[in-house]
Structure 1
């Protein structure tokens, strides 16, 4: 099997590894996916859900580029919600509960049907280098497999250590052993490594819960879907989630275990995710709050297993048991498994370029939690980009880099390699300065042409985007060119408590009013006729409405992006000696030397580099 050299080897079969393997193979690279367990490909190690605030935008972007995550989520969803609908469209974020077992099965099936992709079950415990280039991997069986590029997507498995109370044991995930050898090999050749922590809550038997004491959380009445492809369909039926609350009594019981908590007794020294804290961390940091939300999430259509979201913990099992029983609806709870914390190795992402290739070793790429991120979506996005760029490098083609105004994926990668991270990085809409441009509804318009150009997105997808853009433009033009008389529109305006008109006015101006939505406009005969004759569907109507109502904000952000992108054209030469620039501050000189930014724009985003430092650089470079 291993007599021939692979183009790309992907180490690890989680969300990052699965997207990386699919992307590399679909771009024509002969690819091998090596994982310790082929039964656990794309396993949902934590909650059984995809998407959420900013994360939903990332899944849409992965799908628009030609990745698999959106399709798999649609095929296995049990509930769909569009979050933040009460806010502006830049904040709308899709989220789906998934059937955890079917999610992994569907991923496996899709990967097995992907041309150019082979599989092998073994642990990689060494990397093979020739000077500053990677040439293959070595497994625990002693097999050396040659390749032109290697993508490491090890998740939480690198020297993973699981904590439950005062018990500690090696593992990369409950029931699975840790991965050893890779960290040591990378440190030996000069990489900087660190430790991070994450955790997971208990899983319980849904038959032991009293849902009548909880608040039901149903899905959307008219559920949408993640993928822009026509192969997946919205849900026809959904499963509800439920919500309960902790109490002061629960908090007091949890505190009885703090002296045995690895978080508080010093056994865990690494930093956990700030925005997804454990329950003990929450009651310690927010001591004045007398209750916290607990979300009860079913793990699938046919399983009784339930995920207790909001109760992530590494407290002793007896404390978990006593405290959870005091939560409304959990009085008779039966545990499937207890919550735990896990520590693992990561590599500060400032050691990477924008392609996710390491600066130290050519052909070696990192993606996912190895880069200090947390979350399936962040991992999958990095895997996709690493798979794309590994293939492009082998094919001697230009790298594929998304800018901050192109995609949330661009923000994610730029933040990681420019700013680094000292705690598990999670994406939020607030991290994106161009979020009006980077909406979930237009990810296909933004990215499918780019995915098609590099050979990942299909012709069918590209054609669908062209039709969507053409019909949206047509609808906008119709509104700009069509006038409406007072007697036609005033009854509608009166219904919506907005000012009446006394002379004919263009529909575009009327449609821009915040009090009106396009459902109101469709009462006009002229609009009805236009929609019917041009086969305008709900997606086009929504796209047009957003364009009309937010055109001013969109144009403003585009102008801001264009101004900043001019700095992207000011290239900093490779291995530039910043010490030669005498007027730079000491901190800026140190940070710039370490990170070695490629452009002035990237340099301006490095923490510790001031606007005056950027001015000095521009003057030095004759700009």
Structure 2
């Protein structure tokens, strides 16, 4: 019934969709198996993409030739560039999406991707022969063979949903859990554990009084996520979000349900996300806080459904309703669906290599929440990398690996496989030591050429990147050469309270002043405007960032070069750590369990001291 495939992808969430697209666009024959064809790329939680550090990840996915940025641009109902008041390393794009358009667009793009086949069924077992993964067995009993298998199970592996004292199996509300895979993998020697996540109630927007809330509009300039020309909404078409707050009365009502809370009654064993806690967890942990912020987010253009961001809960339904009705603007609220918690299996990611292939079973790859992460963006980038590497493995080619200095994606994967995680992992800018280099504005300059050489990024994408890069260099050369005339330029400087020029000065020097903006400089100087007429806003912004932050960028590049010495020292796969004297017992155990690929990775394993790495380096030198 089925041919042999190069790559089988199990699960069609954000990780599975990116994995299928990447492998297929590289030339693999791909089968995407999902339990429900109607929920491909479902936004199970909030209807948004991007945010702090997550926006950088989406732009990296786009620069590499993934689909998430394009889908987000096509489906957005609001766009905001967060942290504009800070330096460009902190700027993070975020978009509210139309949930239904997002999923529909993803499915359309996958259906238009040659080499992707679809099948609706549950994967209950991985076919393992001679110690290697070579296909899957489905719930209907089909054996389907492939060269590589990518598991992107999300929250479905033995998923249990909790609402107050009620609990039932499910991977999402109204969708059944997936069974069989955990038990099989544990039998093969894998270590598994449980994690928990939650979601807030969905409510009827017609029952809210928005006059009691603060309006949060989108940006006047919609930058978007994709480096390609993707049709986007106009600024005036954006839907507003709204902000309200809990209060002491809300907190007191929520506390009345604590005795029936699955979290406090011990029915939930899995650890929840630290940085996206439930409302009951927030009022318990931060008892001194009089109120907590709630973001009222529309689910789309053509629906009244609202997502209450900040009110994730698994308390009984009547407690949820009573508490919500004490929130300003929610006095007459109607609930479409109560909030709930979901508990699911994951596999600690120290069991993976940098390519996201499992160490125990070659040709088997994990991506997304199965690796202990939380968030669409974290899942999508893992799916992209697993899809690329599953394709390469099926062709017996070397894996595609991104370093920490190259991408947030590299930081995420290195963190996961080197340190592991015992709580849902979320990306932050603070996790990246080279964040001045890893900005959202330059992901194409960093990554597109590597992806093009691999065969994933298209020629069109490569050409656009080269035009941007060449344009930026031309602008910088012009700024070095062109002198500004005090007579015509001083009015602009005076308007921003900057000292006027007393004589002609190079444009580069003027740009280095605080509060000076390159676009406004061009507007204030006819000579600059004429000379730089070829440069669009993106090129001008990139040139300005490179000029203003040159010192910091160069310092980070030097740091990357110094640290690169450790990254280039590869530890043989069969290295015998027991022969290395004087290494601490904790380091020895971690080295043997994780088996780091390089000394750089070894240095980042939690519990390993610099002295352990030095001893290892000396021993390898022998």
Report the equivalent of 2:429. Answer: 429
Report the equivalent of 1:527. Answer: 528
1:195-246 CA distances to partner (integer Å, 9 max, x unpaired)? 0000000001111111111111111112221111113335341100111000
User: Deviation of residue 417 (structure 1)?
Assistant: 0.3
Residue 271 of structure 2 contacts residue 423 of structure 2 at CA under 8 Å; is this kept in 1? yes
User: Deviation of residue 253 (structure 1)?
Assistant: 0.2
Residue 519 of structure 2 contacts residue 540 of structure 2 at CA under 8 Å; is this kept in 1? no
In the alignment, the residues of structure 2 paired with residue 364 and residue 566 of structure 1 have an alpha-carbon distance, to the nearest angstrom, of 31
Residue 313 of structure 2 contacts residue 339 of structure 2 at CA under 8 Å; is this kept in 1? yes
**Greater Cα shift, 510-519 or 247-256:** 510-519
User: Deviation of residue 485 (structure 1)?
Assistant: 4.0
**Greater Cα shift, 274-283 or 585-594:** 585-594
User: Deviation of residue 517 (structure 1)?
Assistant: 1.0
User: Deviation of residue 618 (structure 1)?
Assistant: 1.2
In the alignment, the residues of structure 2 paired with residue 307 and residue 485 of structure 1 have an alpha-carbon distance, to the nearest angstrom, of 54
1:319 aligns to what SS in structure 2?
A: helix
After the TM superposition, which residues 120-135 of structure 1 pair with which residues of structure 2 at under 5 Å, given as runs?
120-135=119-134
Q: CA 1:234/1:471 → structure 2, altered by over 3 Å: closer, same or farther?
A: farther
After the TM superposition, which residues 207-246 of structure 1 pair with which residues of structure 2 at under 5 Å, given as runs?
207-236=206-235, 237-246=237-246
After the TM superposition, which residues 388-467 of structure 1 pair with which residues of structure 2 at under 5 Å, given as runs?
388-467=388-467
1:573-614 CA distances to partner (integer Å, 9 max, x unpaired)? 002111111111111111111100010111111111111111
Report the equivalent of 1:159. Answer: 158
Report the equivalent of 1:582. Answer: 581
**Greater Cα shift, 15-24 or 513-522:** 513-522
Report the equivalent of 1:67. Answer: 66
Residue 77 of structure 2 contacts residue 233 of structure 2 at CA under 8 Å; is this kept in 1? no
1:147 aligns to what SS in structure 2?
A: strand
Residue 79 of structure 1 contacts residue 96 of structure 1 at CA under 8 Å; is this kept in 2? yes
1:48-88 CA distances to partner (integer Å, 9 max, x unpaired)? 00000000110001011000101111111111010111111
1:19-63 CA distances to partner (integer Å, 9 max, x unpaired)? 000001111000000010010000000000000000011000101
In the alignment, the residues of structure 2 paired with residue 449 and residue 395 of structure 1 have an alpha-carbon distance, to the nearest angstrom, of 21
Report the equivalent of 1:339. Answer: 339
In the alignment, the residues of structure 2 paired with residue 487 and residue 297 of structure 1 have an alpha-carbon distance, to the nearest angstrom, of 50
2:549 aligns to what SS in structure 1?
A: helix
In the alignment, the residues of structure 2 paired with residue 190 and residue 222 of structure 1 have an alpha-carbon distance, to the nearest angstrom, of 52
In the alignment, the residues of structure 2 paired with residue 384 and residue 531 of structure 1 have an alpha-carbon distance, to the nearest angstrom, of 37
**Greater Cα shift, 228-237 or 124-133:** 228-237
Is 1:357 matched up with 2:354? Answer: no
Report the equivalent of 1:539. Answer: 538
After the TM superposition, which residues 433-512 of structure 1 pair with which residues of structure 2 at under 5 Å, given as runs?
433-512=433-512
What TM-score results when the alignment is normalised by the length of structure 1? 0.98
In the alignment, the residues of structure 2 paired with residue 71 and residue 490 of structure 1 have an alpha-carbon distance, to the nearest angstrom, of 42
After the TM superposition, which residues 83-94 of structure 1 pair with which residues of structure 2 at under 5 Å, given as runs?
83-94=82-93
Report the equivalent of 2:14. Answer: 15
In the alignment, the residues of structure 1 paired with residue 286 and residue 476 of structure 2 have an alpha-carbon distance, to the nearest angstrom, of 49
Report the equivalent of 1:377. Answer: 377
In the alignment, the residues of structure 2 paired with residue 126 and residue 567 of structure 1 have an alpha-carbon distance, to the nearest angstrom, of 40
Alignment RMSD (CA, Å):
1.1
In the alignment, the residues of structure 1 paired with residue 233 and residue 572 of structure 2 have an alpha-carbon distance, to the nearest angstrom, of 49
Report the equivalent of 1:149. Answer: 148
Any unmatched runs of 5+ in structure 1?
Answer: none
Residue 78 of structure 1 contacts residue 235 of structure 1 at CA under 8 Å; is this kept in 2? no
User: Deviation of residue 488 (structure 1)?
Assistant: 4.3
Report the equivalent of 1:368. Answer: 368
User: Deviation of residue 562 (structure 1)?
Assistant: 1.1
1:142-187 CA distances to partner (integer Å, 9 max, x unpaired)? 1100111000000000000000001110000000000000000000
Report the equivalent of 1:304. Answer: 304
In the alignment, the residues of structure 2 paired with residue 7 and residue 232 of structure 1 have an alpha-carbon distance, to the nearest angstrom, of 34
Residue 497 of structure 1 contacts residue 515 of structure 1 at CA under 8 Å; is this kept in 2? no
In the alignment, the residues of structure 2 paired with residue 524 and residue 172 of structure 1 have an alpha-carbon distance, to the nearest angstrom, of 60
Report the equivalent of 1:41. Answer: 40
Report the equivalent of 2:291. Answer: 291
Report the equivalent of 1:604. Answer: 603
In the alignment, the residues of structure 1 paired with residue 232 and residue 340 of structure 2 have an alpha-carbon distance, to the nearest angstrom, of 36
